[in-house]
Structure 1
Amino acid sequence: MTFTTKDFTRRMERALSHAAEAGLTGVLVTPGPDLVYFTGYQPTAITERITMLVLDADHDPHLIVPVLERPDAAAAPGAAAVTITDWADGSDPYAATSRLLDPHGRYALSDSAWAMHLLGLQEALPDSRYTSMTATLPMLRAVKDADEVQRLASAGAAADAAYEQILTVRFAGRTETEVGNDLARLLREHGHSQVDFTVVGSGPNGANPHHEMGDRVIEFGDTVVLDFGGLKDGYGSDTTRTVHVGPPTAEELEVYEVVRRAQQAGFEAVQPGVACEEIDRAARAVIEDAGYGEYFIHRTGHGIGLTTHEPPYMVAGERRPLVPGMCFSIEPGIYLPGRFGVRIEDIVTVTENAGRRLNNTSHEMRIVA
């Protein structure tokens, strides 16, 4: 399953359409996930030498690269969709790049662009203006095509398989790091090329949403938050399940059930046209109604794609409507400081009339040894 020249061309055309709607001259894309999205090109080393894709309605797409990196750029999957221009060491790279820009243009620039490159362009074209891509075009990569959704589904299935296997290992008497290393190994065994994070929050550590893993020895009676993910075939996985070492208490079961119902409420709110913030509102209402509102301390979800965190965000104030093809997490939680935490997370994609989960392991509290 590979992306074609037609796929990359369609993405660039859509970017220019969004830019025109935002009153921009074009889009400037630097190395990172944005450049991979539009061209499939990922330089082997991101250095001080400027590399930039220039999307401007007045001319065909141009990719400007250092001359020594031209062969790699020409071999990229989307190379046929762009004109490659190079510059040599000893020449002025900003003069070479500025010739491709409107001297009075206003461009959206990748958030990952080096400040030195932005300042160099501003010096070469003092009347040009630049704005953050996330600030002006946050939905640029948010709507996935069928191939992207399939890759995300495959990554989700691989993470699900890793979860089912981690349930069979021993937790009690081992450190969080040991269990986290098992998770990372299982993700790789199920096809992940990159593991981005393995949260193993046992007992009181589970009350810290971004606690990754440490030297604490997991004890019988602990609630354990497992949040893990990475990249498979270039696209992300990210799922959270909360397990218990031995039988849970009545309070732990109560908190867990509240989070389970909140996650379900967020999922049931997913429909095309619904504002992103409504997903957060639906999940949060369940937790607030149960009296735990002050212990839900983060947004309900984030987009996922070439990176594990990207727009859209399921958070109060985000009024952009859901569109078929958007993919994002729904991950409410309750965190009781010094005691324990519970979080349940699935990646969800928007269909023509509802939502579809890309993680499908049980939402019931699983008991581990």
Structure 2
Amino acid sequence: MSPLAADLPPFTADDYRARMDRAAAAAAGAGLAGVLVSPGPDLLHLTGYEPPPTERLTLLVLVPGRDPVLVVPALEAPDAAKATAGPLLTLRDWTDGRDPYALTAELLGAPGRFAVSDNTWALHLLGLGRARPDTGWTALTDALPMLRAVKDARELERLAAAGAAADAAYEEILTVRFAGRRETDLAADLAGLLRRFGHSRVDFTIVGSGPNGADPHHEAGDRVIRPGDTVVMDFGGLKDGYGSDTTRTVHVGEPTPAEQHVHDVVREAQQAGYEAVRPGAACQDVDRAAREIIEEAGYGDLFIHRTGHGIGVTTHEPPYIVEGEEQPLVPGMCFSVEPGIYLPGRFGVRIEDIVAVTEDGGRRLNTTDRAMAVVE
């Protein structure tokens, strides 16, 4: 059965128990008193619970050697209890008019430093600081950057299925007409195709034609695509809770030799980055391998971003494939390899695949042709 058609079973309470146990153990190993997790991708990954984003405090408290506790507003406690990990959590609910920070302070134990999820509201962190002035905080990404970076087999299945769906969308978009249509028209087509092939959420559909392709994060606009344009398409979102992200660069009609040359350089750089993926290599080694090709071709100053980013329950997360990141690669990590060259006022080229680290190298989760497709 193909990844696109795979029937993916839901995560179980045992899956979430293992994740919370690993997080608590990692905190202890880092000399931390525990982990505090607010609503967002970390809470979803650890518990399967995704509460509405409100000003009321919801906080998962993980302290090594103790059962996990979820501090939750009383009006949301029934939904929290229904979450997959709900039976594993001790719920401490609070009602409006009570001080949730005093309640949480009692759960933290002895003074120490806690890793706090990056998206925790300042309002809540300041409230906890008032309730526990003897306790310190550090950002979760700084303290435990690999918490969500290494995927298990069931997560890898979901990422492969998301990649296959994005590939199907790309293959389909090649059959439509580009010339004479606006960038926003193509972006809408891509969004519709991602949903058609199973995405529940579309996060981005970058379509940069002609000179707009030289802006890596160009928002699709009203520019009409013309014959002779190079077109960068970068698109992705969530399928079965896990992300897709792929980029291909196409040309409306036959490219000029100069355009083809730039594309060939980026394609070679992307291949070099992929071939550098192996257990034990540093994240920066992948960046260096791709960047070296582009620098040797004389375009080093025109490759203006990192080579890649991790992907999972969000489309951007650790590990980051960039100079200075010495974190070694281990099997189960998933990240993009996406070098690019951007010529201001002229055009841009980017090629991107999601790659999973295996026991002996890397596995592409995007498999569409990386050659420059010619479209009408």
Superposition TM-score tier, normalisation by shorter sequence: over 0.9
**Does the 8 Å CA contact 1:106/1:129 hold for their aligned counterparts?**
yes
Q: Equivalent residue for 1:250?
A: 257
Choose the corresponding residue for 2:164, options 136, 157, 160: 157
Q: Equivalent residue for 1:41?
A: 49
Indicate yes or no: 2:40 matched with 1:32: yes
**Does the 8 Å CA contact 1:172/1:218 hold for their aligned counterparts?**
yes
Give the residue type in structure 2 aligned to 1:188: R
Structure 1 segment 185-196 matched on structure 2, within 5 A: 185-196=192-203
Indicate yes or no: 2:191 matched with 1:184: yes
Q: Equivalent residue for 1:340?
A: 347
Q: Equivalent residue for 1:111?
A: 118
The superposition leaves residues 6-33 of structure 1 with CA deviations (integer Å, 9 ceiling, x where unpaired) of 1111111111121112110100000000
Provide the rounded CA distance (Å) in 2 between the counterparts of 1:209 and 1:18: 36
Structure 1 segment 7-156 matched on structure 2, within 5 A: 7-43=15-51, 45-156=52-163
Q: Equivalent residue for 2:224?
A: 217
SS of the residue corresponding to residue 59 of structure 1 reads: coil
Q: Equivalent residue for 1:266?
A: 273
The superposition leaves residues 129-169 of structure 1 with CA deviations (integer Å, 9 ceiling, x where unpaired) of 01100111111000000010000000000000000000011
Indicate yes or no: 2:205 matched with 1:198: yes
Q: Equivalent residue for 1:285?
A: 292
Task: Using the TM superposition, name which of 75-84 and 146-155 deviates more.
Answer: 75-84
Runs of 4+ off more than 6 Å:
none
Task: Using the TM superposition, name which of 101-110 and 118-127 deviates more.
Answer: 101-110
The superposition leaves residues 300-335 of structure 1 with CA deviations (integer Å, 9 ceiling, x where unpaired) of 000000000000000000000001000000000000
Structure 1: give runs of 5+ residues left out of the alignment: none
**Does the 8 Å CA contact 1:103/1:125 hold for their aligned counterparts?**
no
Provide the rounded CA distance (Å) in 1 between the counterparts of 2:55 and 2:339: 40
| Matched residue count | 368
Choose the corresponding residue for 1:303, options 310, 335, 342: 310
Structure 2: give runs of 5+ residues left out of the alignment: 1-8
Provide the rounded CA distance (Å) in 2 between the counterparts of 1:344 and 1:301: 11
Give the residue type in structure 2 aligned to 1:240: T
Provide the rounded CA distance (Å) in 1 between the counterparts of 2:128 and 2:306: 36
TM-score (norm 1): 0.99
Shift of 1:103: 4.6
TM-score (norm 2): 0.97
Indicate yes or no: 2:329 matched with 1:322: yes
**Does the 8 Å CA contact 1:18/1:137 hold for their aligned counterparts?**
yes
Percent of matched pairs sharing the same residue: 68
Shift of 1:267: 0.3
Provide the rounded CA distance (Å) in 2 between the counterparts of 1:212 and 1:103: 49
Provide the rounded CA distance (Å) in 2 between the counterparts of 1:230 and 1:49: 28
Give the residue type in structure 1 aligned to 2:18: R
Taking only aligned residues, the RMSD between alpha carbons, in angstroms, comes to: 0.7
Provide the rounded CA distance (Å) in 2 between the counterparts of 1:186 and 1:156: 13
